[in-house]
Structure 1
Amino acid sequence: MTRLVQVFALLLWVAAPGSAQEAVARFGNGATPFLIRSTTDIEIIRPVIERFAGQRADLTINYEQWGSNALFARSRSDCRGQGTPADAILSSAVQQMVWLVNAACAASYRSAATLALPQTRRWRDELWGITTEPAVIAYNKAAFAGREVPRSRFALLDVLRADPERFRAKIATYDIAASGLGYLFAFSDSLEATTFGALLESFARIEAVATCCSAEIIAGVAEGRYLVAYNVLGSYVASAGRPEVGMVLPEDYTLVLSRAFMIPQNAVQEATATAFLDFLITAEAQELLRQIGLVASMEFGETSLTPSARRTIALSPSLLVALDGNRRAQLYDAWQDALGFDTGR
């Protein structure tokens, strides 16, 4: 019975409607409203939105920043006709976006620009990958002065085993119950890494911390509350402006994410959404995204990534496995045992 209650609680984050956005911003003063809902922090993506708004004096762009799970729930509700839909959605929790496309919640669009994207960054002419962002190991530079920085999962395990007290409650990663992106990275690790089980055991032994948000994790590393952050998005480290924080691309393999863009099938301003999509793919917009860290080269941080170590998270139906109830419950159980979060929230 306890097991059934746990599984039911785990499903609630998918079924419950999103309560509210985290922040909002407005760009332009045109007569036509254009609504973007996104998991990307407003202050990070602001230059890109401002550039598009500068090209479209006819628009007032309303940008809503959401947590990934809340955005997913809200988008599902909108797809069922139970709310006001966005005109465009951009999310780092790409497995949730694939689910929405598979549930016939997306409009179709094709252009020369979208067709030029790599196959891993487009699916069914309904979902497109806009960014290139690796998951990195971030660390407090002062704490590792004169010490070897772990540059792979194997090296991280060695460091944790050699001096567990030094790292007790000093390792941070995303809370997979609160973060759709964190869940995606953990799921991808579980498929890829021979080190996954060993990492969870080490995290349990040293009382690693699971938290919701990139900004909180990076601030904690900069301030020394955490010595290492595991699987945090490198784009947020790069854009945080915290010189106290170093980062490396794990040499055994590095997950590479492209934030997924979708046009809801009931979007009011569908034509503007397609124009925005084409803009995001232009060389101009990609350069802006590079400047703010959302398009990264694979010579990033203090290490370079060999092609064989790159693990691109492709936009494809295979991501639906991540949302399978049984697989999700298994991963949550393992993660709860290691990090001790409440799976019912």
Structure 2
Amino acid sequence: MIRLAILLAMLSQPLAAQTAELTAVIGPGDATNALVLRSTTDLAVLGPVIEAYAEARSETRVLYEQWGSNDLRAISEQECQSGQAGADLVISSAAHHMVGLVNEGCASTATSGWTQALAPQLSWRDQLWGVSREPAVVVYNRDLLTPAEVPRSRFDLLDLLRPETSRFAGRVATYDIEESGLGFLFAFIDSLEATTFGGLMEAFGRSGAIATCCSAEIIDGVASGRYLVAYNVLGSYAIQRARRDDRLGVVAPEDYTLILSRAAMIPAGAAAPELARDLLDYLLSPEGRAGLEANDLMIRLDEGDGQIVEVTGTVETMERPIGLDPTLLVAMDADKRELFIRRWRDAFPQPE
């Protein structure tokens, strides 16, 4: 029997800088081996996969730390610069943060049959690996939108926001890119990919769209009717909620759909790199992939997941995978980041 003990739950109170949101021990308390896994993935989502790993390795327990992406990057960089041992394996949805850390020399090298079997865009320098497959989606309230109003592309969303008397004014939400590393990544890739990006920013600002921090908060808002539509939401969380909440509809934008792979890295100062490599290999193995798929972390729009996600385009041409490569370093450039955030603030002015 796996013991999953919540040691620290701080989600209901303000977080101190560089503090885990949630910490749990997965595995037997008397295990002889222990490793620290830090991840931006919700414990409720990735936890069952780690439980299965621990069940198969009774001698190992995992200390799971759930982090916000910006704080996870900050503590990883701090420990890298100081030479401190912290996490043994880091997994983040903010893939650009991870590429930056690898570029700064903060990662260990590892190779195995499973890492070498990854597609080239999901492996960089044998130090960074993509371990999931999750689309960025549009979420809408089924009870409050007619079929004709459901935005199936960014052009549709622009049309909904264009009228001065639009009922969608103030009722469209997306990530706050200053609070969410994932939100920054999606918005930055949008700015490179889409001719609609400038128009969307203008429409969001003019219509009073809401920028907020977290997937759960955004999805809750759509389910309750506070928001009618949410843009660029991480599909794994949206799909998992939609399976049990009929109020939620999920759309893969037909103009293009970003596909994220959470990036995994073994820090250079890891205390248990061998255990980290073993867990990484498990996540990349057929058994681990089956667990990730069962928990909506491996989404295939052209297979069964298309029954939950509404797909109206051709999957092969609409998917845009976000590769783990130096392209993402552009998003880490301080000057470019400041200019991009300034442009974002123009669309989402901060309350005085």
Q: Which of 226, 243, 246 pairs up with 2:249?
A: 246
The match for 2:73 is: 72
Question: Aligned partners of 1:20 and 1:165: how far apart in 2?
Answer: 41
The match for 1:153 is: 154
Question: Aligned partners of 1:54 and 1:327: how far apart in 2?
Answer: 45
The match for 1:25 is: 24
Q: Which of 263, 266, 271 pairs up with 1:268?
A: 271
TM-superposed deviation, 1:146: 4.6
TM-superposed deviation, 1:68: 0.2
How does 1:129-208 map onto structure 2 within 5 Å? 129-162=130-163, 164-208=165-209
Give the 3-state SS of the residue equivalent to 2:144 in structure 1: helix
Aligned residue type for 1:57: S
Give the 3-state SS of the residue equivalent to 2:148 in structure 1: coil
The match for 1:306 is: 315
Aligned residue type for 1:320: L
The match for 1:259 is: 262
Q: Does 1:328 align with 2:328?
A: no
CA RMSD of aligned residues (A): 1.6
Aligned pair count reads 327
- Structure 1: stretches of 5+ with no match in the other structure: 1-16
The TM-score, its normalising length taken from structure 2, stands at: 0.90
Aligned residue type for 1:271: E
* Inter-CA distance 146–91: structure 2 relative to 1 (3 Å threshold): closer
Give the 3-state SS of the residue equivalent to 1:105 in structure 2: coil
TM-superposed deviation, 1:309: 1.6
Question: Aligned partners of 1:152 and 1:134: how far apart in 2?
Answer: 14
**Contact (CA 8 Å) 1:23, 1:66: kept in 2 or not?**
yes
Question: Aligned partners of 1:273 and 1:47: how far apart in 2?
Answer: 18
Aligned residue type for 2:270: A
The match for 1:88 is: 89
- Structure 2: stretches of 5+ with no match in the other structure: 1-15
Which segment is superposed worse, 135-144 or 239-248?
239-248
TM-superposed deviation, 1:40: 0.1
Q: Deviations over 1:48-91 (max 9, x none)?
A: 00001101111221000000000000000111126441000000
**Contact (CA 8 Å) 1:18, 1:72: kept in 2 or not?**
no
Question: Aligned partners of 1:164 and 1:156: how far apart in 2?
Answer: 15
The TM-score, its normalising length taken from structure 1, stands at: 0.92
Q: Does 1:315 align with 2:318?
A: no
* Inter-CA distance 225–135: structure 2 relative to 1 (3 Å threshold): same
TM-superposed deviation, 1:249: 0.6
TM-superposed deviation, 1:168: 1.8
* Inter-CA distance 155–62: structure 2 relative to 1 (3 Å threshold): same
Which segment is superposed worse, 153-162 or 246-255?
153-162
* Inter-CA distance 84–164: structure 2 relative to 1 (3 Å threshold): farther
**Contact (CA 8 Å) 2:18, 2:72: kept in 1 or not?**
no
Question: Aligned partners of 1:341 and 1:21: how far apart in 2?
Answer: 26
Question: Aligned partners of 2:139 and 2:165: how far apart in 1?
Answer: 18
Question: Aligned partners of 1:342 and 1:49: how far apart in 2?
Answer: 41
Which segment is superposed worse, 52-61 or 269-278?
52-61
The match for 1:338 is: 347
Question: Aligned partners of 1:52 and 1:342: how far apart in 2?
Answer: 46
